[in-house]
């Protein structure tokens, strides 16, 4: 049976064990004068530990003993003079696990009192293992036991991640022991000892994801060892290993997968971290499910998913003459011309009936109004009798207003027409998933780049509740970037992929020397991966050290600088290799003159209008002849 007592008290750590995996560090005594002979018993040991604990800052203190009645525990509790939260409770792995995760505790110290039975000791250590102690390396462990058990206990798998551990040992209780009176400087509970990791080797697993992780294979077998090259991980491991004095061994994930979880069990890279087969996985993102099994250190900025489609094409040139005005403007002009003609005709009809003057047809006013709008000079048929002063003044106002209106409209039209012919309008590019799913069925298709459709990206599209995302995911097909971009070139197809990756591919293989490309990347990306970085096995002692260093690098802008350099280097390397090949995909772009000269393709609308007018005139002539035909 194991009992526990938890309380809030002041804790001092008088000795430490720096542990990385199963490496045992140096034992030390601090702030205690031990130059005299002593008679030691359980009570004496308890008093000594209690005095030491009384000198440290406040922490949550957990006392565990394998003895139902432990004088040591009682002696430690008595001087503290604080009300215990729980005392004399038989513990289980689940209750201890809850204790480690208690959010209200700023720090935690575990005092473990073991009896003389080694089997009971092993059971107690296994209980701590089951309770998840290795996942909380910051817990300070103070152990009381026999000297002969010290190595067995300190090297136990339970303490493989523990940063600070201390072992109190008394060889023979109630016997005289003598120790030298040496005072050693206190080592504070900080991360200073992580400035030098002593050449420790980390096991690393990676998945290719440029520019963050790229490597060369030494063997072609799945899961073989690789070497980082021209990537952010290459820079990070080189920099950190120099600063912290460690080495690493990296292998490619066997299936090239980050991993997905099924009932709490993960595959791929996440599975290797969950099983503690590796220390570091790069470069995954963090999700709610992954956060339960790994620690995460943000190292890189998030990258959005973008849609790649054909570059917007020129609008049809036969509509160039009507494009300067919007549809509502053309409609308003038509209505204005008709309304003006009817108004002028009504005024003329009223005046003609009062003065018995000549009446004009409505068509005369219509044709005169359109002639003025088209800047055609025509004789005025309305002012033959100049002595009719009142009527002339009325028409001067009506006709003058219309002529001024026509001048403004024609000036705006000519200016807009010139600009549209000089800088031609293009079709609207595809920017969002909403635009794709709203298109008519079968008019447009889309796909997902296969190299990066894994892990968190799969979870995003398969588990998202948004109807637009669901519909988008139902219709896309996973394709390689070669196949996807070939379909994009064929038209009416979009390829979704990460912006950095597609930028490198398009700039390397589909861009000419002038920087022109047939592809267009959407400006409105979809952020699927909130953060990218290193996945760390749960309980890795140096996790906090890595996180702080990554924060400093990110704040200084070094990471973004590295990303720009790596992408530029990759593009230049790919283009040099492409130029050495006999056929270059970049040569598909036509070389055009920079100075635009208007040609038939720009002015075809005017010729279409001339043809339409001629046909209409011929039909009108035929209609008039048929109307006046007398057999």
Residue 599 lies in a domain: no
Residue 16 lies in a domain: yes
Closest CA to 280 of 348, 341, 200, 191: 200
Closest CA to 282 of 200, 206, 373: 206
Residue 80 lies in a domain: yes
Q: Residues 332, 459: one domain? A: no
Q: Residues 453, 535: one domain? A: yes
Q: Are 270 and 293 in contact (CB under 8 A)?
A: yes
Q: Report the alpha-carbon distance of residue 542 to residue 137 in Å, rounded.
A: 9
Residue 453 lies in a domain: yes
pLDDT score of 189: 44
**Joined tokens for residue 576:** 């040099």
Q: Residues 569, 438: one domain? A: yes
pLDDT score of 22: 31
Q: Report the alpha-carbon distance of residue 188 to residue 16 in Å, rounded.
A: 10
Q: Report the alpha-carbon distance of residue 433 to residue 525 in Å, rounded.
A: 10
Q: Are 160 and 134 in contact (CB under 8 A)?
A: yes
Q: Residues 226, 145: one domain? A: no
Q: DSSP letters along 330-384, please?
A: HHHHHHHHHHHHHHHHHHHHHHHHHHT-PPPPHHHHHHHHHHHHTT-----SS-S
Q: Residues 159, 22: one domain? A: yes
Q: Residues 447, 508: one domain? A: yes
Closest CA to 420 of 170, 606, 546: 606
- 212 Cβ contact partners less than 8 Å away, ≥ 6 residues apart: 231, 232, 233, 282, 283, 299, 300, 532
Last residue of a domain, one of 388, 422, 456: 422
Q: Report the alpha-carbon distance of residue 268 to residue 257 in Å, rounded.
A: 5
Q: DSSP letters along 250-261, please?
A: EEE-TTS----E
Residue 543 lies in a domain: yes
Q: Residues 253, 208: one domain? A: yes
Q: Which domain holds residue 386?
A: 317-422
Q: Residues 472, 577: one domain? A: yes
The single-letter DSSP state of residue 325 is S
Residue 217 lies in a domain: yes
Q: Report the alpha-carbon distance of residue 565 to residue 571 in Å, rounded.
A: 10
Q: Are 350 and 390 in contact (CB under 8 A)?
A: no
Which CATH number do you get for residue 514?
Answer: 3.40.190.10
Tell the residue number behind the tokens 């293009």, with chain if given: 426
Q: Residues 70, 104: one domain? A: yes
Pairing of strands 140-145, 108-113: parallel
Q: Residues 9, 42: one domain? A: yes
Phi, psi for residue 601 in degrees, rounded to 5: -65, -25
pLDDT score of 535: 95
Q: Are 213 and 207 in contact (CB under 8 A)?
A: yes
Pairing of strands 58-65, 108-113: parallel
The tally of domains found in the chain comes to 4
Tell the residue number behind the tokens 């197809």, with chain if given: 493
Q: Residues 157, 118: one domain? A: yes
pLDDT tens-digit map of 308-366: 999 887 777 767 778 888 889 999 999 999 998 998 888 878 777 777 777 778 888 88
Residue 244 lies in a domain: yes
Residue ranges, the chain, pLDDT below 70: 1-59, 67-106, 115-116, 170-193, 318, 377-395, 582-603, 605, 629-631
Q: Residues 411, 445: one domain? A: no
Q: Within 10 Å of residue 593's Cβ, how many Cβ atoms?
A: 6
* Cis peptide bond upstream of 139, omega within 30: no
**What mean pLDDT is reported for the chain?**
77
- 38 Cβ contact partners less than 8 Å away, ≥ 6 residues apart: 44, 176, 177
Residue 553 lies in a domain: yes
Q: Are 539 and 136 in contact (CB under 8 A)?
A: yes
pLDDT tens-digit map of 28-85: 333 333 333 444 455 555 556 665 565 555 667 777 777 666 666 666 665 554 444 4
pLDDT score of 102: 63
**Joined tokens for residue 323:** 């494009």
Closest CA to 496 of 307, 304, 303: 307
Tell the residue number behind the tokens 């998945």, with chain if given: 207
């Amino acid at each position: 049976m194991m009992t526990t007592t938890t309380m809030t008290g002041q804790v001092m750590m008088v000795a430490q064990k720096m542990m990385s995996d199963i490496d045992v560090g140096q034992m030390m005594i601090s702030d205690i004068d031990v130059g005299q002979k002593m008679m030691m018993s359980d009570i004496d040991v308890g008093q000594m530990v209690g005095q030491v604990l009384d000198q440290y800052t406040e922490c949550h203190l957990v006392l565990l003993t394998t003895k139902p009645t432990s004088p040591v525990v009682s002696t430690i509790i008595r001087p503290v003079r604080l009300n215990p939260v729980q005392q004399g409770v038989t513990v289980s792995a689940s209750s201890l696990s809850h204790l480690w995760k208690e959010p209200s505790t700023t720090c935690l110290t575990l005092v473990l009192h073991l009896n003389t039975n080694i089997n009971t000791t092993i059971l107690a250590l296994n209980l701590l293992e089951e309770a998840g102690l290795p996942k909380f390396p910051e817990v300070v462990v103070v152990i009381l036991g026999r000297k002969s058990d010290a190595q067995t206990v300190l090297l136990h798998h339970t303490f493989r991640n523990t940063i600070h551990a201390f072992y109190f040992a008394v060889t023979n209780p109630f016997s005289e022991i003598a120790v030298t009176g040496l005072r050693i400087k206190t080592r504070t509970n900080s991360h200073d000892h992580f400035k030098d990791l002593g050449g420790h080797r980390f096991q690393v697993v990676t998945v290719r994801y440029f520019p963050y992780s790229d490597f060369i294979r030494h063997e072609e077998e799945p899961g073989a060892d690789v070497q980082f090259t021209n990537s952010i991980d290459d820079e990070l491991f080189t920099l950190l290993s120099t600063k912290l004095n460690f080495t690493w061994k990296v292998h490619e994930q066997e299936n090239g997968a980050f991993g997905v979880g099924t009932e709490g069990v993960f595959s791929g890279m996440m599975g290797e971290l969950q099983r503690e087969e590796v220390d570091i996985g790069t470069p995954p993102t963090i999700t709610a499910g992954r956060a339960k099994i790994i620690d995460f250190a943000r190292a890189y900025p998030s990258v959005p998913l973008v849609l790649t489609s054909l570059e917007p094409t020129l609008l049809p040139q036969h509509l160039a003459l009507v494009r300067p005005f919007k549809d509502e403007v053309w409609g308003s002009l038509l209505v204005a011309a008709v309304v003006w003609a009817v108004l002028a005709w009504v005024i003329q009809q009223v005046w003609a009936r009062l003065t018995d003057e000549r009446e004009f047809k409505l068509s005369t006013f219509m044709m005169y109004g359109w002639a003025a709008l088209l800047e055609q000079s025509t004789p005025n048929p309305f002012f033959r009798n100049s002595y009719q002063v009142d009527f002339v003044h009325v028409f001067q106002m009506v006709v003058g207003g219309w002529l001024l209106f026509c001048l403004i409209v024609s000036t705006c039209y000519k200016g807009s027409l010139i600009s549209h012919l000089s800088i031609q309008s293009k079709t609207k590019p595809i920017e969002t998933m909403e635009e794709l799913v709203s298109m008519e069925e079968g008019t447009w298709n889309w796909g997902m780049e296969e190299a990066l459709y894994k892990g968190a990206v799969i979870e995003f599209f398969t588990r998202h509740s948004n109807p637009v995302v669901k519909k988008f995911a139902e219709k896309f097909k996973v394709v390689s970037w070669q196949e996807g971009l070939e379909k994009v070139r064929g038209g009416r197809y979009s390829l979704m992929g990460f912006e950095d990756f597609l930028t490198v591919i398009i700039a390397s293989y589909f861009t000419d020397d002038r920087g022109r490309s047939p592809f267009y990347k959407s400006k409105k990306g979809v952020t699927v991966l909130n953060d990218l970085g290193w996945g760390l096995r749960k309980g890795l002692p140096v996790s906090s050290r890595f996180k702080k260093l990554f924060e400093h690098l990110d704040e200084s802008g070094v990471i973004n600088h590295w990303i720009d350099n790596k992408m530029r280097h990759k593009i230049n390397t790919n283009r040099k290799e492409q130029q050495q090949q006999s056929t270059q995909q970049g040569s598909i772009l036509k070389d055009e003159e920079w100075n635009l000269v208007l040609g038939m393709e720009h002015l075809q609308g005017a010729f279409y209008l001339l043809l339409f007018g001629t046909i209409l005139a011929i039909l009108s002539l035929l209609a008039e002849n048929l109307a006046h035909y007398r057999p």
